[in-house]
């Protein structure tokens, strides 16, 4: 078995790893790189592997930094199958179309300014027809059901506890002679106790582990802290008669925020507040959550209530672009939840243009912000921000709630690792900034794992 690391190696974005086993070439994830716009455009266009040579893709989950470059794969000659869980198929269908639409819309805005400045125009990465092609390659596979990839290679998905449909990916390679080698890829490992998805499984028997390290150096606050911080910020918004703007991922994070706001409403602690979810994708994703969570699961009832306007007074889902623009003139205290979570595209950009300069308003960051994204510059309180080609002074208040993260923290990572490490010989730390990767490596070495590595982009390893 050979491994080759491309995306999410010493960074947190663009997840992509190549496995070669028994003559097969298998890609783990095919995510979009997110960061500086020009650099991201160039990286996403240069596929590090020849798509036509790949036999299969095993997709961990639907977040765009893991799935978002699949259309480029099929556009450039991939003919195999893309295996993932049934919820991931449904989520990719809406998320990849949304990605294509946002690229087209944002590219139009940026290129209009670049043309006026005499600069070279950016090209569209992919369109909706390319997404149609991707969906024809998708094969839904339930958790814990083996997939025969041929050549004595099988794959199995296990629950990752991250977002709906997120999976740990297990690959078993049986050579002609000798014992089977088991590879386990975490994708994004979830934080235990998330309100809408079960905790991650602990698959046994892995020889090699590829493990994310996003929050390897810290622990998240408790869920109780989330509610108290949300209550404080909404109350502050009422006192100032201002806006609380929450850039949030449409899948997973938005549903969590609504869940906690709903709890506060039911407890009678939250003053009546208009809450606008300005993301058609979030609305569609919420419907997919409801479809896949079993009716006999208490979490389904909680989810359905927390996104039901009749049971959550003040909640409104914003549909058309005109309705979105109308929010700029809304008077009085209110909350806007809008995508994208890293502020690199989507409707949140227009809301940020109207919010960053208002001292009374609050921008609440609720997810990890990749280096060089607008979201990272906001959380670092950069004095001047470029938004859709225009420059704005940051005067709004900026807060962060790390406890909403769906990524495992230090304690959760080490607990999960302890639960799967009995047979481990090799561990590769990925999906983290360099200091996080190194921290995970130290944690793994302290637990007696023999070979621990922080692979660089393009680095190759022969596991025998």
pLDDT profile of the chain (464 residues), mean per 10? 94 95 98 80 88 98 96 95 96 94 81 88 89 98 97 97 94 91 97 87 98 95 85 95 94 88 91 92 86 56 72 90 92 94 89 96 91 92 93 96 87 97 96 96 95 96 90
pTM exceeds 0.75 for this model:
yes
Task: Name the one residue in this structure whose structure tokens are 């240069």.
Answer: 46
Signed CA dihedral, 315, 320, 324, 330: sign only: negative
* pLDDT for the residue 52: 97
Phi and psi at residue 89, to the nearest 5°: -60, -50
pLDDT of residue 295: 39
pLDDT at 253: 87
Q: Which of 329, 330, 351, 331 is nearest to 339 (CA)?
A: 351
Residue pair 428/8 in contact by the 8 Å Cβ criterion: no
Helices (H), 117-174: 128-137
Nearest to 452 by CA among 426, 417, 416, 421: 426
Q: Could you tell me which of 375, 137, 135 has the C-alpha nearest to residue 246?
A: 375
Q: Please calculate the CA angle 177-181-187 and round it to the nearest 5 degrees.
A: 155
Whole-number pLDDT of residue 296: 38
């Amino acid at each position: 078995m050979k491994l080759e690391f491309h995306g999410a190696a010493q960074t947190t974005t663009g997840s992509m790893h190549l496995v070669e086993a028994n003559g097969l070439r298998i890609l783990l994830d095919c995510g979009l790189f997110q960061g500086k716009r020009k650099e991201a455009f160039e990286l996403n266009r240069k596929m590090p592997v020849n798509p036509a040579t790949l036999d299969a893709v095993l997709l961990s989950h639907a977040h765009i930094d893991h799935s978002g470059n699949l259309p480029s794969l099929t556009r450039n000659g991939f003919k195999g199958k893309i295996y993932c869980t049934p919820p991931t198929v449904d989520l990719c269908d809406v998320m990849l179309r949304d990605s294509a639409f946002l690229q087209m819309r944002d590219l139009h805005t940026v290129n209009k300014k670049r043309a006026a400045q005499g600069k070279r125009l950016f090209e569209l990465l992919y369109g909706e027809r390319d997404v149609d092609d991707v969906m024809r390659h998708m094969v839904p596979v339930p958790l814990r059901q083996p997939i025969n990839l041929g050549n004595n290679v099988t794959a199995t998905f296990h629950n990752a506890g991250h977002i709906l449909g997120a999976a740990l990916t297990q690959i078993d390679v049986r050579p002609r002679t000798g014992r089977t080698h088991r590879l386990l890829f975490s994708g994004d490992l979830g934080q235990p106790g998330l309100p809408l998805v079960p905790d991650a499984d602990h698959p046994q028997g892995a020889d090699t582990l590829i493990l994310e390290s996003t929050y390897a150096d810290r622990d998240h606050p408790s869920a109780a802290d989330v509610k108290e911080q949300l209550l404080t910020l909404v109350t502050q918004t009422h006192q100032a008669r201002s806006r609380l703007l929450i850039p949030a991922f449409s899948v997973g994070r938005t549903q969590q925020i609504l869940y906690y706001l709903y709890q506060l409403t039911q407890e009678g602690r939250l003053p009546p507040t208009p809450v606008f979810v300005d993301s058609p994708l979030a609305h569609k994703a919420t419907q997919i959550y409801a479809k896949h969570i079993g009716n006999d699961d208490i979490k389904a009832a909680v989810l359905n209530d927390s996104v039901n306007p009749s049971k959550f007074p003040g909640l409104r889902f914003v549909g058309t672009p005109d309705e979105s623009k109308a929010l700029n003139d809304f008077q009085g205290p209110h909350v806007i939840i809008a995508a994208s979570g890293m502020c690199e595209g989507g409707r949140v950009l227009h809301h940020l243009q109207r919010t960053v300069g208002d001292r009374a308003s609050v921008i609440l960051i609720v997810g990890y912000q990749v280096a060089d994204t607008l979201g990272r510059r906001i959380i670092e309180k950069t004095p001047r921000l470029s938004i859709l080609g225009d420059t704005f002074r940051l005067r709004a208040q900026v807060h962060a709630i790390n406890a909403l993260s769906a990524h495992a923290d230090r304690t959760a990572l080490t607990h999960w690792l302890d639960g799967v490490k009995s047979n481990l010989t090799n561990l590769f730390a990925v999906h983290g900034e360099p200091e996080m990767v190194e921290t995970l490596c130290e944690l793994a070495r302290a637990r007696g794992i023999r070979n621990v590595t922080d692979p660089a982009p393009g680095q190759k390893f022969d596991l025998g």
